[in-house]
Amino acid sequence: MDTNFWDIIRNRRSIYGLGDEKIVSVDRVEQIVRDTLACVPSAFNSQGTRIVLLFDDHSRKFWKMVLESIRAVTNDEQYAASEQKIRDSFSGGYGTLLFFEEQNIMQNMQTSFPKYAERFPVWSQQSNAMHQFVIWSALESEGLGASLQHYDPLVDEAAHKEWNIPETWKLTAQIPFGKPVGVPKEKVETDTDSRIMVFK
């Protein structure tokens, strides 16, 4: 990979058109996840982020479970919109990453460092988000399309049961990925002047 770091960051975006052709091997995707887990920082080196990597039928089953969960809480019109979105996009790829945070680790940190107890849930989310961003960018660098989704807590119970995921792992986000299909929407860049203060 000889793509410049900032080119990868600029090119990363939500890709909703996904195909299931394996333009990157499942082993390579797994290695990206392992490298991310090994390298991304966490508060007090707590390392509470957990990831479940679903390929092929497992990935499609997850999105079917999401649809079933949505069906239970929406009317026909709302469900139809969600169904089209999921079938035309998220379930069309060949994999999905599920991001979790291990609650026992966070609670142990709160007990060990009571002065910062109320901050650990925030720090836990921050570390999880860094994992999401690194993996999303790494998938982009490999030529894969992806997007960040949040169908928790609708699907939590079903996912835990289906893949025997520890109950102490709390689902925070999902990244479906696959071969990019079609042209992504143009990225809207906002003015940075109102978002930064510089003192020289």
State the Cα–Cα distance between residues 34 and 36, nearest whole angstrom: 5
Residue 163 is assigned to a structural domain of this protein:
yes
Residue 195 is assigned to a structural domain of this protein:
no
- pLDDT tens for residues 113-122? 999 999 999 9
State the Cα–Cα distance between residues 16 and 26, nearest whole angstrom: 20
Taking alpha carbons only, the member of 44, 146, 43, 45 closest to residue 99 is 146
- Mean pLDDT over 152-162 rounds to 97
Residue 1 is assigned to a structural domain of this protein:
no
Residue 151's domain spans which residues? 13-182
User: Which has the minimum average pLDDT: 50-59, 126-135, 185-194?
Assistant: 185-194
Q: Output the pLDDT for position 3.
A: 63
DSSP state of 14: B
Residue 194 is assigned to a structural domain of this protein:
no
Q: What is the 3-state secondary structure (H, E, C) of 89-148?
A: CHHHCCEEEEEEEEHHHHHHHHHHCHHHHHHHHHHHHHHHHHHHHHHHHHHHHCCCEECC
Both structure tokens of 147: 């997007």
- Domains contained in the chain, number: 1
DSSP state of 155: T
State the Cα–Cα distance between residues 69 and 116, nearest whole angstrom: 36
We report the CATH number of the domain holding residue 59 as 3.40.109.10
State the Cα–Cα distance between residues 93 and 19, nearest whole angstrom: 5
Residue 1 has pLDDT above 50, yes or no: no
- Which residue would you say has higher pLDDT here, 159 or 188? 159
Residue 182 has pLDDT above 90, yes or no: no
